[in-house]
Each structure stands twice: as C-alpha cells, then as structure tokens.
Amino acid sequence: MRAWIITLFVALLPTYGLAADNPAGQQLLDDAAKLIRIQGPGKAPFQMEVDFQAQINVPLQGHITLKWASPDLGYWNLAMEGYREIQVRKGETLYTKRNAPFTPLALTHLQNLLEVFHVDSHDWEVQKIKPEGGLSCVQLKPRRGHAHEKICLEPDSKHVVSVESKRDDDGDKQVFGDYQPFHDHSFPRELKYFENGSLLLRLKIISLQDKSFEDLVFTPPQNSIVRRKCENMTHAVAVKQPDPEYPPAAAQNRLMGTTTVALTVQVDGSVNDIQILQSAEHEMDRQTVETVKKWKFKPAMCGTDPVATDITVEVNFRLSR
C-alpha cells in the first residue's frame, strides 16, 4: 500500500472565545500582550534595525530595516546575499518587490517571527501558571491549531523575560529572549526559529527608536506585486484538491520526500504562478506542480470582495511500511 499526505498551510484568523477559567492567568496573559504590542492604534512611529542569519543550504547573513508609522502604513526592506525584498503597506494594499520569483521559505518564517509584536490574548487559552526561577510563567494553548506557548514575566508583571512557542505537529519552535524596555513596552532582542531541532533563523534587533517619516518613504516601488490585505480577511480554502500520483520509479526505489510550492490563488479560485520552494525529487516535484495546477479554491475574501492571495502548499510523499 502507498500513502501520501497533502498539507495546505494557510494563516488562520484569530478566534475569539470566552474568557479563561483562570482569572489570574488571564490577567498575566493580558498584561504580557499589552507589554509586547508595540504596534497598534495610537502607538508612536518607530524604526527597527535587525541583523539575521538564515540557514538556506548554507548560513547566509542579512539585514532588515522596518519603518512603522501606523497599522496601515509601513515599510520593510530586507537584504541578504543574492536576495532583496521591499514591502510597502498603505491602507489595505500591500506592495511587494523582490529580485526573485518567490520569497525563500526560510524568510517567510522570518516574517512570522517578527509577528511577536502582534500578540492578541484572545487567541490563547490559559492552561496554568507555573513559577520558574522567581518568574511567573503562563502556559498557553491556542484556541485554534496545535501549539503550546509559554510567556514568563517578572512577578510585578511589568517586564516580559521570555516567550517560547512550539508546534505539536512538527516540533518547530520559536524562542524570544533578552527582552528590553521600549516606552511602556518590552521587545525581544533575540529571536530564534528551530525546525526539526535545528536552528534555521537567528535574529538580533540591534536598534529600536522613535522616528517620524516623510510620506515619500511609503511610495510603492515600481513593478511591485499588489495584494489587498484587509482586517478580518478570510483566507482561501481548497474545494477541489486531487492527489498527485506517486511516481512509479520513486515508489519502486522506496524514495520519499517533501515538495513545497508557493502559488497564487486568483479571485476566481484558480491557481497560477506556482514556484518550487523546497524540492523533493524531480518526478515528485513535477507531479506536485502538475496536480496543484488543477486545484480549485474558494478565494480569499475582504468582506464580500474576492481577492488574490499567496499561499504555500506542502506535499509529503510517504510510503507505508
């Protein structure tokens, strides 16, 4: 018997539920979320400089400049050996320009790491409070998904010391440490992402300071990819998802692997611009691309308007024993 698994990774919307049954834990969680959230309505504009190392076959060094003026006005400039990317956010529109047909997979994880500044306590359910080394640590689980998170604060709840997030399904882990004060908030200077126990990304925030910006800073780059990003956006959902054929030669030789592709779901639910992010084996890659072309989606929605969106699909070719 042969079997393979298809996993579609799409960001989930926050799920809002009832308050936790643990009032003390919920209060600690709310305090931590307020401390970490340096971006949001009424927050002061700032500029952040980040050095990073990404493991993409070999260790590569890079730098990010992030300019944030408001929730709907921001700028991102990423430079790494052989790769450049600029993003400008204006209102509900995100403009992206890069010197490659797709963003390397490791760098999509990097963007997720920097989402630490968007913690929303409503996304999590308190499991318990556990003292550790004189700190108050809140252990959490998401209201949707399979992960665990631990946030440790000083006893007065006025300073975050560390945050750790771990996914149950694949063992991936995010670790945030060396928190420093910024106005009435805390931010981590050290950010790490582990995949299958190996360190894939290491980020160091080298500066974070108040900054005012001229409008010219947020001019969209020419020939950029344009995507609408609205609040409470519903994401694309596969409605027709045929399985790829397991390549006969690969099955005969008991070859297994994972092909990861980036693709665009258009407003009519069709798929185009398929790019291989992670290769398994030539025939597995070919079968993945040819099959994904036939997939059909209910497109992402901003209110009643369908919008184009970019997603990542992982196809795992596995043989049963």
Strand partners, 260: 278, 314
Q: What is the pLDDT of residues 202-224, one digit of tens each?
A: 999 999 999 999 999 999 999 99
Rounded distance between C-alpha atoms, residue 197 and residue 190, angstroms:
18
Q: Considering only 25-39, 187-201, 270-284, which range has the smallest mean pLDDT? A: 25-39
| pLDDT for 10 beyond 80 | no
pLDDT of residue 127: 85
Q: State how far the Cα of 134 lies from the Cα of 242, in Å rounded to an integer.
A: 53
Q: What is the pLDDT of residue 1?
A: 25
Residue 117: alpha-carbon gap to chain centroid: 12
Give CA separation, 311 vs 166, 271, 308, in Å: 22, 10, 10
Is 233-319 CATH 3.30.460.10?
A: no
**Cross-strand bridge partners of residue 56:** 58
Residues of the chain with CATH 2.50.20: 23-228
Residue 186: pLDDT over 80: yes
The answer to whether residues 160 and 179 touch, using CB atoms and an 8 Å cutoff, is: yes
Whether residue 19 has pLDDT greater than 60:
no
Give this prediction's pTM.
0.82
What is the biggest distance separating any 2 CA atoms in the chain, rounded to whole angstroms? 62
pLDDT classification of 85: cutoffs 50, 70, 90 = very high
CB 123 within 8 A of CB 32: no
Ranges of CATH 3.30.2420.10 domains, the chain = 233-319
Nearest to 300 by CA among 19, 60, 43, 10: 10
Residue 65 has which token pair?
Answer: 């400049």
Provide mean pLDDT across the span 304-319: 90
* pLDDT band, very low/low/confident/very high, at 86 (cuts 50, 70, 90): very high
First to last CA, the chain: 8
pLDDT at 8 over 90: no
Answer whether 139's CB lies under 8 Å from 127's CB: yes
CA dihedral 96→102→105→111, nearest 10 degrees, is 0
Q: Dump strand ranges (E) for 133-169.
A: 135-142, 147-153, 160-167
> Span 179-184, mean pLDDT?
91
**Average pLDDT of the chain to the nearest whole number:** 86
Residue 21: pLDDT band by 50, 70, 90 thresholds?
low
Position 232 confidence tier, pLDDT thresholds 50, 70, 90:
confident
Among all chains, which residue has been given the structure tokens 């890069």?
98
Please give the Cα distance from 182 to 274 (Å, whole number). Answer: 41
- The whole-angstrom separation of Cα 122 and Cα 30 is 9
- Decide if 199 contacts 75 (C-beta within 8 A): no
Once rounded to an integer, what is the mean pLDDT over residues 177-181? 92
How many whole angstroms separate alpha carbon 106 and alpha carbon 111? Answer: 9
Helix (H) or strand (E) holding 28: helix 23-36
Q: How confident is the model at residue 168 (pLDDT cuts 50, 70, 90)?
A: low
Q: Which CATH architecture has domain 23-228?
A: Clam (2.50)
The band of 15, judged by pLDDT with boundaries at 50, 70 and 90, is very low
Question: What CA dihedral angle connects 279, 280, 283 and 289, to 10 degrees?
Answer: -50
C-alpha span between 282 and 278 (Å, rounded) = 11
**How many C-beta neighbours within 10 Å does residue 319 have?**
14
- Residues 53 and 62 sit within 8 Å (Cβ to Cβ): yes
